[in-house]
Amino acid sequence: MKHEREWQGVPLELSAAWQKIFSASQDGIDVDGLCPVCGSPSLHHWFDKPRPFEAGYERDGFRGHGGLWEWCSSCHSYEHYSGLVPAWWHDVLTVDEALLTHDPEAIESARLDSV
């Protein structure tokens, strides 16, 4: 099912509060806390499949390189990063990688379809 949303980046003046909430969460896709943009308790994050480290370049506490999406389902604010996928992350969604873009539309659609 295709869901239509307009996504926007997190305002610069709220990025520190945004990052603080998301960096404290290690509980899966749903993030505890209120969105700094709209005040809603509908925050989520998702890491794509990690690309394994090359031999000799492993990092303790991480599974590999990958992408990270952080978003609010209510106001459609989001951030997207490339970086290291933490060892605690266990994917709970089936997301078509061909549909992944900078915004979290494909991930949010998969999340809503799984509920």
Q: What does the pLDDT profile of the chain (115 residues) look like in tens digits?
A: 455 679 999 999 999 999 999 999 988 899 999 999 999 999 999 999 888 888 888 889 998 999 999 999 999 999 999 999 999 998 889 898 899 999 999 999 999 988 7
Distance CA 32, CA 34 (A): 7
**Residue 4, pLDDT score:** 64
**Residue 51, pLDDT score:** 87
* Residue in the structure block whose two tokens are 């000799």: 56
Closest by CA position to 104, among listed 52, 72, 74, 69: 69
**Residue 8, pLDDT score:** 96
**Residue 58, pLDDT score:** 86
Phi, psi for 77 (deg, rounded to 5): -80, 145
